[in-house]
Structure 1
Amino acid sequence: MAAATTPSMQEETSNTSSSRSVPFNFSQPPIIEGFNPLPRAKDESFKEKLIRKTKENPFVPLGCLGTAGALMYGLRAFHQGKTRQSQLLMRGRIFAQGFTVVALIVGVIGTALKPKQ
């Protein structure tokens, strides 16, 4: 009796696996109950997104540039043997990193508190 049920089980599983449909349609976003995504006007390029984000929070790129500048100038001073100047510039780099982190946090909080349009 066990031998008779085994072939029919294999036939059923092969029939159901071939007739299954794909669970997700990857060309469309998933439908989530209670969630309505905002329609996008268009896809942005990297440059457009960078400009938009810089306009939204200009202090983050300034902090990044300040950090990179202090690091480069400090490494150059270290290489030249100017230890005092190198130490001051490394401290300036830490200050610029802290400024960048604070700017990121303020930007995130500002975006979260901003009313939706």
Structure 2
Amino acid sequence: MAAVPTSAASEQTAEMSASGPVPFDFSQPPMIEGFSPLPRVKEETFKEKFIRKTKENPFVPIGSVATAGALLYGLRAFHQGKTRQSQLLMRGRIFAQGFTVVAIIFGVFATALKPKQ
């Protein structure tokens, strides 16, 4: 009577190759005993993610645009020789950067404190 190979034995032979055992199969996710991953949500495009993040915390893009605007106008004023206006716009840029950083920190804390869905 011939012995029928079990599934564990066939898996072992499948993992063995001419060069020895294959530790990982990178084409498949790892199988972890007792763990079942959640189904993946549809991958977002850059535009969809940007819109979602902007709706979550609209002050970050506002601060970023204000920073870039103050920088560009300040550089333009500097190029035109308007040193007083250039200095004021550079100070405004620093204020806008600070506003953006505070908005990012606030958004991180708000997200951390928000209950999981």
Q: Residue 35 and residue 80 in structure 1: after superposition, are their counterparts in 2 closer, same or farther (change >3 A)?
A: farther
The Cα shift of 1:53 comes to: 0.4
Identity score, percent: 73
1:15-74 Cα shifts (integer Å, max 9, x gaps): 98713123253432x467898765332000000000000000000000000000000000
Per the normalisation by structure 2, the TM-score is 0.75
Partner of residue 76, structure 1: 76
Report the CA distance shift for 1:65/1:20 in structure 2 as closer, same or farther (over 3 A): same
Match of 1:58 in 2: 58
Partners of 2:64 and 2:99 in 1: CA distance = 9
Indicate the residue corresponding to 1:23 in structure 2: 24
Deviation at 1:102, TM superposition (A): 0.2
Aligned residues: CA RMSD: 2.4
Name the TM-score, length of structure 1 as normaliser: 0.75
Change (3 A) 1:19 1:109: same
Q: Select the structure that is richer in helix.
A: 1
Match of 1:6 in 2: none
Q: Which residue identity is paired with 2:55?
A: K
> What are structure 1's unaligned runs of at least 5 residues?
1-14
Which runs of structure 1 show a deviation greater than 4 angstroms over 4 or more consecutive aligned residues? 30-38
Counterpart of 2:21, as a letter, is R
